[in-house]
Structure 1
Amino acid sequence: MRRISKVVLLLLSSFAFSQEQFTIELTALPFESDSLLLAPPTTSRNTISLYQLNLSGDHKNVKSIANSKAAKIRIEPRNTISGTVPCPLPMLMMAPKEDKSFQQSKIFFIEHGNLNINIKDKDLTLDLSKDAVLNKDYKQLKSYLLAVDKKLKPFENNNQADLDEKEKLLKAYIKKNPDSYPAFWEIVDAFSKYGFHKGYLTDLPLFSKKLKASPCFKDFEKILLLENSTNTGEKFPKIVFKSGDRITREDFTNHKITVIDYWSTTCKPCIQELPGLVKLYEKYKNKGVNFISVADEKTPQRMQLANKIIKDNHVPWKNYFDTGKEFTRKLNAAGYPLFIMIDRDGKIISRELGGQEILEALIEKHIN
């Protein structure tokens, strides 16, 4: 009986350790009687999976939304948001604008304990608790990275030297501050905005044992290792779709280059770029270049719409449906359009999130 009690106690303590209890006391007089959103920053490459906001308490003006990734708050004179998060999380406040877009605050951290936030104006200027430790760390880190961050453009192609510089600065910061959650999330953010960098794999082990034990760290490490195993220079994995269709090495052997276009009917750029992809295919099909499309759709209505889009744009190559998320899991495919170029030996030679404008240059480079 004593042994069972110890096991139960161990499980309970493990669960408690993996959750951070938080309470936010929010004042937002400029938005009284309106609604604000507490939400994660913009993410890609499946890093949104690291966020989980578990609300608690009987606060009728606070509602969980977006699969518990965010909260909607109907602003009253005083507002309390409480619950748990898997680890300290970077979040922001959002307010709807008249043009149906959103105004965003600067990023702040939800951490263990109490956090007082005062929103002073309609621009979502935040006053935070003076004892908000992680927010002080985040401010210090962003000041340290300011010069290199100014050179980088999110979700675009950047100078590799600038990306290397940021990675080296982060490595140096982590060595001095191994408990820094802001530094950990800065790696997540850089991966999300600028793409994979092999240096991140050597940065993660530098964090403290306590930080590395967190669910956020473990889940991100899995994402990073998966991305590394399916990045440039690695072998393209065998994909078997729920329908029984498959993409294997045999699909590549008869072509110098195969371009896989991962897309969705919800992605406007994906649809807008299809005519350009068809022109590229017609230009290079006799030079050993093939195309394959994979649509991230699973409902009959969306699949029917995808087939119509394919037909309307006279797409001559195969299109598969990733209804079981096999493609997503094996390649960490979490953004559209994603273009993966594979040589005849099944080796990945390029992986670009967006960037159709450089596809032709890459095709020319590799067929020659």
Structure 2
Amino acid sequence: MKKTSQILLLLISSFVFPQKQFTIELTAPAFEKDSLLLVPPSSSRNILSLYNLNVQPDKSVSSIANAKGALIRIQPQNTISGTIPCPLPMMFLAPKEDAKSFSQSKLFFIEEGLLKIKINDQDLSLVLSGDASVNNDYNTLKEYLLEADGKLKPFEKNDPADIESKGKLLQAYIKKHPGSYPAFWEIVNDLSKYGFYKIYLNNLPLFSNKVKTSSCFKNFEKILSLENSTDVGGSFPEINFGSEGKITKAGFADYKITLVDYWSTACKPCIQELPELVKMYEKYKDKGVNFISIADDRTQQRIDLGHKIFKENKVLWKNYFDINKEFPRKLNAAGYPLFILVDRNGKIISRELGGQENLETIIEQYLK
């Protein structure tokens, strides 16, 4: 009975989210008898969960990173085939001579059908041919967004007006090209690199049903919904730390405001800025401000190190260790230090990634 249920579930999943067949014919003379990696671009905020690259394994091609990429042992002629849930943005990586870093190609899309790719040299410059309609769309889109992209810095703080401006340009593009997967992935990329903005929610409904019914779109909708619900104005979720306890909505009621600090023992800025956080605690602890730290560490060695760091810095507030990895899953946390200010009702009033420069100003304004 159990096996029958599993088969039915597989059939239903395949029917709802059909997979697309792809074939890549690759030539890379400069890398013959060497290997290349085929991988997604660097990302954050659980974006990697959207990738599902099912390659057909053979003596030269093997799947890596839980079906997020592939390892290709380069021959004079190489064929990579398999299935994808939707057109996927990917890139090639090759180790540099020092073997300590990688060269990377420009972004391209694995799309349905046959795609011919030639890598001309060690710099991984690509020439694409064959049925490359999605890639042609991508090139058109990036040219259209060139000026807007030039104003933005990945994984740094940006002017919200610049994000809004790019979002409106994308809006106009999607209205003209509702079936554009590159436009969809541009929203995904912007969330990953620049953080959450409401305009993403406004743009998603503009896509065609073909895009909307893909598993890529459906899974991204869930990520975006989680971002929206835990952004400023949303509610802080319950977090369970196992035997150490949990954070619940009721726990915020005893304080005017609570500062939640998400950090890691592997995060140098988190540790370097800890003395300033201690000063802030001393300033506000008697004014109804509560402090909670959550460390993204699970091994006993890291937990011991976390206790040592807090002891050396004379930290007096509670520090939890997120052994169940609930914090990044429930708050879609993409990095640290992440500071979240929560009011007595469990409502998020501020979410700051990467620094504590604005925290005192926000706390002062709220206390007034």
TM-score (structure 1 length as normaliser)? 0.90
- Is residue 94 of structure 1 aligned with residue 96 of structure 2? no
SS at match of 2:38: strand
* Aligned-pair CA distance for 1:279: 3.0
Q: Note if 1:203 corresponds to 2:197.
A: no
Partner of 1:317: 317
Mapped to 2, the partners of 1:29 and 1:106 lie a distance apart of: 18
SS at match of 1:117: strand
> C-alpha separation between the residues in 2 aligned to 1:112 and 1:247?
46
Post-superposition offset of 1:301:
3.4
Report deviation, 1:87. 1.5
Q: Give the match for residue 256 of structure 2.
A: 256
- 2: distance between equivalents of 1:67 and 1:357? 38
Going from structure 1 to structure 2, the CA distance change for 1:10 and 1:343 (only over 3 Å counts) comes to: closer
Other structure's SS at 2:303 match: helix
- My pick for the range that moved more, 318-327 or 216-225, is 318-327
Structure 1 165/26 Cα, relative in aligned 2: closer, same or farther at 3 Å? same
> Bigger CA drift: 180-189 or 290-299?
290-299
CA–CA distance in structure 1, aligned partners of residues 352 and 60 of structure 2? 42
Maintained 8 Å contact 2:249/2:346: yes
Distance 1:359 1:32, change over 3 A: farther
Q: 1:32 to 1:176 in 2, by over 3 A?
A: same
Amino acid at match of 1:65: I
Q: Distance in 1 between matches of 2:72 and 2:180?
A: 29
Q: Which amino acid aligns with 2:60?
A: N
CA contact (8 A) 1:18 1:87 kept: no
Instruction: Give the 3 Å change call, closer, same or farther, for CA 237–315 of structure 1 in structure 2.
Output: same
Deviation at 1:10, TM superposition (A): 10
Give the gaps of 5 or more residues in structure 2: none
Q: How big is each residue's C-alpha offset from its partner over 1:143-172, in whole Å with a ceiling of 9 and x where there is no partner?
A: 111111100111111111111111111111
Distance apart, 1:220 and its partner CA: 0.4
Partner of 1:64: 63
Q: Structure 1 residues 329 and 17 mapped into 2: Cα distance closer, same or farther (>3 Å)?
A: closer
Distance in 2 between the 1:324 and 1:9 partners? 28
Match of 1:283 in 2: 283
Report the CA distance shift for 1:255/1:153 in structure 2 as closer, same or farther (over 3 A).
same
CA deviations on 1:84-104 (whole Å, 9 max, x unpaired) are: 222111011112222712222
- AA matched with 1:75: I
- Asked if the contact 2:119/2:127 (under 8 Å) is kept, the reply is yes
Superposed CA deviations along residues 93-151 of structure 1, whole A, max 9, x for unmatched, are 11222271222211100011121111112221110115301000000011111111100
Q: Does 1:52 align with 2:52?
A: yes
CA deviations on 1:283-340 (whole Å, 9 max, x unpaired) are 3333433221112233333333333333333322111122223323322223222221
Indicate conservation of the 8 Å contact 2:51/2:68, yes or no. yes
Which residue pairs with 1:116 in the alignment? 116
Q: Cα distance 1:304–1:221, how it changes in 2: closer, same or farther (>3 A)?
A: same
Q: Distance in 1 between matches of 2:330 and 2:8?
A: 35
Q: CA deviation at 1:12?
A: 6.9
Q: Which residue of 2 aligns with 1:350?
A: 350
**TM-score normalised by the chain length of structure 2:** 0.90
Residues 114 and 130 in structure 2, CA contact (< 8 A), matched pair in contact too: no
Distance 1:315-1:79 versus aligned 2 partners, 3 A rule:
farther
Of residues 216-225 and 192-201 in structure 1, the stretch that sits farther from structure 2 once superposed is 192-201
Q: How many residues align?
A: 362
Q: Distance in 1 between matches of 2:112 and 2:305?
A: 46
SS at match of 1:95: strand
Displaced runs of 4+ in structure 1, greater than 6 A? Answer: 7-10
In 2, distance between residues paired with 1:9 and 1:226?
25
- Residue 166 (structure 2) aligns with: 166
**CA shift for structure 1 position 208:** 1.1
Q: Residue 43 of structure 1 corresponds to which residue in structure 2?
A: 43
| Counterpart AA for 1:83 | G
Aligned equivalents of 2:308, 2:345: Cα separation in 1: 33
Cα distance, 1:25 vs structure 2: 1.6
**Runs of 5+ consecutive residues of structure 1 not aligned to the other structure:** none
CA contact (8 A) 2:256 2:288 kept: yes
**2:233 paired residue number:** 233
DSSP-derived class of the 2:82 partner: strand
CA 1:112 to 1:228, structure 2 compared with 1: closer, same or farther past 3 Å?
A: same
Match of 2:193 in 1: 193
CA deviations 1:176-216 (Å, max 9, x no partner) are 11111000000000111111111211211111111111111
Q: Give, in angstroms, the shift of residue 225 of structure 1.
A: 0.7
Q: Does 1:143 align with 2:149?
A: no
Q: Provide the identity percentage.
A: 66
Q: 1:349 offset after TM fit, Å?
A: 1.0
Q: Is the 8 A contact 1:115 1:129 kept in 2?
A: yes
Distance in 1 (alpha carbons) for counterparts of 2:157 and 2:230: 19
Alignment of structure 1 residues 262-301 onto 2, 5 Å: 262-301=262-301
User: Which residue of structure 2 aligns with residue 363 of structure 1?
Assistant: 363
